[in-house]
Structure 1
Amino acid sequence: MRWQSMLAIYILFWAFSVFLVLPWGVRTAQEAGAELVPGQAESAPHGFRPGLIAIRTTIVATALFAVFLLNYIFGWVTADMLDWVHRS
């Protein structure tokens, strides 16, 4: 696999992982014991930390990509194994 393909696939894993990581550790202002800002929804997260989200996302994406790459190298699961229509 070319490095450009690997980079593109890693970026896709990273973008997908953001949505997995975003809900981790989210607390509302009430749960954090803070006052609501006028006009703020009660369900709004308290203390958004994009750096922590980026670090967590990178860790999750790297782990998922490593499993993908190892599967590509060793062929644990192939397209032929998943083809239920033409299986005899």
Structure 2
Amino acid sequence: MSTGSAIAIYFVIWWIGLFAVLPWGIRSQIEEGDVVKGSDPGAPARPRLLRIVIVNTIFASLIFAAYYVVWTKGLISLDDIPFLPGPKPKL
């Protein structure tokens, strides 16, 4: 696997993971009881984006490390995936 491919795969894992991690621990302004005038009441009271980015980076690094080990050791190949169709026989 080239460095460029590894960076691209890590970025995709990080970005998808961000959408999973983003709502963790977020409380809306209504839940906090402090709605800022002119804002959406469902908006986060304290977004804590730095904490979310750090947690997501750790999460993505663990997932990528597992993927990298599986890829380099050849633990799973495309032949091991049962739903991929094989070559079509010639008639």
Given the two structures, how large is their TM-score scaled by the length of structure 1? 0.83
For 1:78, the equivalent position in structure 2 comes to: 77
1:83: Cα distance to partner?
Answer: 4.2
For 1:19, the equivalent position in structure 2 comes to: 19
Larger Cα-atom Rg? 2
Identity of aligned residues (%): 33
For 2:89, the equivalent position in structure 1 comes to: none
State the SS of the aligned residue for 1:23: coil
For 1:8, the equivalent position in structure 2 comes to: 8
CA RMSD of aligned residues (A): 1.8
Divergent runs of 4+, >3 A: none
2:14·2:57 contact (CA, 8 Å) conserved in 1? Answer: yes
1:31: Cα distance to partner?
Answer: 2.5
What count of residue pairs does the alignment treat as equivalent? 86
1:66: Cα distance to partner?
Answer: 0.7
Given the two structures, how large is their TM-score scaled by the length of structure 2? 0.80
